[in-house]
Amino acid sequence: MTRAAETEAGALLAVLERNRRTFAWKTDGLDDGPAHGDRREHHEPGDLIANMALVEADWLAVTTAGEGYGPPWESVDVDAEPN
């Protein structure tokens, strides 16, 4: 691996770790119920984690590396199963 590739990989990993820490911070203390006065659709905590994992796969595999989504995402029909 070249020095430039090592630096780029390190930068990508740092951004990924920062995003994960931010997600953990923003969701810390959430329970299974909707927020007080929140009229939006309720989502389970696992839905948030799955959504974040899909965003990571899209950003890292599809957008950055030009690959497919890979398991388990390639088998999901998001039009039929949006959650």
pLDDT digits (tens, 9 = 90+) for 43-77: 666 777 888 888 888 888 888 888 888 888 888 77
Position with higher pLDDT, 34 vs 77: 77
Share of the chain above pLDDT 70, in %: 73
Distance CA 44, CA 48 (A): 7
Do 16 and 56 meet the contact criterion of CB atoms below 8 Å apart? Answer: yes
Structure tokens that stand for 12 in this block: 């990508």
Question: Comparing C-alpha atoms, which of 43, 28, 37, 40 is closest to residue 83?
Answer: 43
- pTM confidence score: 0.56
Helix and strand totals (H; E) in the chain = 2, 0
Cβ–Cβ contacts within 10 Å for residue 57, how many?
19
Please name the residue that has the structure tokens 């905590």. 45
In whole angstroms, what separates CA 54 from the centre of its chain?
5
pLDDT in tens, 2-28: 776 688 888 888 988 998 898 888 878
